[in-house]
Structure 1
């Protein structure tokens, strides 16, 4: 991908009146259903960044299973204390083209249990597809290709990921198009295509393990490290993220079940594509009150064309 002349301005350098409004959010109750206070405002928390393999080898991560006696991944963690600012009250400053994330509030859903994959696909997927078509400028077609439910309980199959990462790289994004739409891929890859995750809590307001995102306009290409994502039947690619003091981090305090967070993992449009990727991670908020319920969430991943 060639470097484009366009450079989005980091959100912290913009006035609130200079940004288009995607949605408006009002302050919710400052206690949850347990009567516990919801942490608000900026917080300093420790985030896990990339630490390269000691032997200098290409970083990799095994998914689902790995060879006996081999660690799941060959790279380490570098923990850094980071100031994470609160999106609440300044949501309209952020857009997917400028920052690679955006939010929508107050959306009801006909799906409530989230305990049956077939029902999720039949009921929730159409809602997400329409949400993307309505809120992603230029979008004409959406293909939802998978989802992940994360729960903080000890027996959960997938827990919140406490490592800074990006789900796709340019090469793996192209692979996704070819994998899911092989007969149309050559044509679709000539136009604009994006990979966007739609994230929401299932038991909000979120108290434990909130999701942090970095303003993509403050993330350098040098901060991103391709990592082989090794499945039993194929190899994909994700991106690990090195710490850089210039990165600006945010979370959306007390996210409710009616809130949606868009995370753009890739954008083929070269005028915004270099910044079309958003590092993100769950984090431990040191202000989380004792006894708060663990976070449950769902992320749906989409190919967005147009």
Structure 2
């Protein structure tokens, strides 16, 4: 689905009224369990190079008798700061992530069981959010989405990663808009994920993000993703003690977390990508429901 706007109308402050959020009235979830808030130390899985020195790769569809991936996990205890209450300090251009609150949807929770309903109702809402708030955005192409549930076949990813590399970002443009790719690749293009819970407030498997300004290019490792009909790339992330990590406590269904995976604007430079991962919060109370969420991936032109 594509949408074109002749005059972009950035309205970050209008869509992100953080001062209206009352944490005191929402410190328990619908089960009556306390919502963990504030800084927390948690174990995150970083990149560990293959022992044989081979280029790292991953089979999207596992092959019989072949390991799905050839690199390992380097678990590190990391302190994550809570974004709640300091959301206005972060922007897509400066940190490669941003937060929006009080965003209503016309699709209820049951509607997110239908791909058709998601594309018909939720996709236009995501497009409108991006066109309204992404400075310079002229055109949006939503190219896929993923639903994650504890009981589904797509569980939260507990490995630090970035969804795109510069190579795979340009290949995405060629894949989805082949007739226009040569022209579009001459201008600014970004890949942005719009992430939200479906059964918030989130308590199980919250999402951690790194401030992109604190992540060195040397920390990023291209991973070849091997599909049956093509190859793609994501980026794994090696641990660096200079990295600064955050999470957004108690995310509600009306919250939106924007993750920028790539930005062709060289003026943004190394701030154009955000490492992220699900993690286990050691403070999660016993009996808390598992996280359900949706992420919609968008090509943003302009």
- What TM-score comes out, normalization by structure 2 length? 0.93
Q: Which residue of 2 aligns with 1:136?
A: 134
1:23 aligns with 2:16: yes
1:97 counterpart (76, 89, 93): 93
Corresponding residue of 1:150: 148
SS in 2 for 1:229: strand
Q: For the residues of structure 1 that align with 2:179 and 2:269, how far apart are their CA atoms?
A: 25
Work out the CA distance in 2 between the residues paired with 1:273 and 1:260.
24
Gaps of 5+ in 1: 1-19
Structure 2 counterpart of 1:209: 205
Task: Find the aligned partners of 1:152 and 1:136 in 2 and give their Cα distance.
Answer: 32
For 1:301 and 1:255, the matched residues in 2 are separated by 19
Query: Counterparts of 1:272-291 in structure 2 under 5 Å?
Result: 272-291=268-287
Q: Which residue of 1 aligns with 2:226?
A: 230
Aligned to 1:48: 45
Runs of 4+ off more than 2 Å = none
Query: 2:139 and 2:203 mapped to 1: Cα distance?
Result: 35
Q: Distance in 1 between the 2:16 and 2:191 partners?
A: 21
Q: Which runs of 5+ in 2 are unaligned?
A: 1-11
Give CA-to-partner distance per residue, 1:274-299, whole Å, 9 cap, x none.
22000000000000000000000000
Superposition RMSD in Å: 0.9
| 1:239-277 deviation line (CA, Å, top 9, x unaligned) | 000000000000000000000000000000000032200
How far 1:24 sits from its partner (Å)? 2.7
**Equivalents in 2 of 1:225, 1:301: separation in Å?**
21
Alignment counterpart, residue 267 of structure 2, candidates 264, 271, 289: 271
The offset of 1:232, in angstroms, is 1.0
3-state SS, counterpart of residue 178 of structure 1: helix
Conserved 8 A contact 2:216-2:270: no
Tell me if 1:191 matches 2:187: yes
1:119 corresponds, among 112, 117, 120, to 117
Output the CA distance in 2 between the equivalents of 1:290 and 1:273. Answer: 43
1:210-254 CA-partner distances (Å, limit 9, x unpaired): 000000000000000000011111100000000000000000000
In the alignment of these two chains, the number of paired residues is 284
Shift of 1:152: 1.4
Q: How much has 1:133 moved relative to structure 2? A: 0.4
User: 3-state DSSP class of the match of 2:66?
Assistant: coil
Secondary structure of the residue aligned to 2:132 is: helix
Q: Deviations over 1:136-185 (max 9, x none)?
A: 100000000000000012xx110000000000000000000000000000
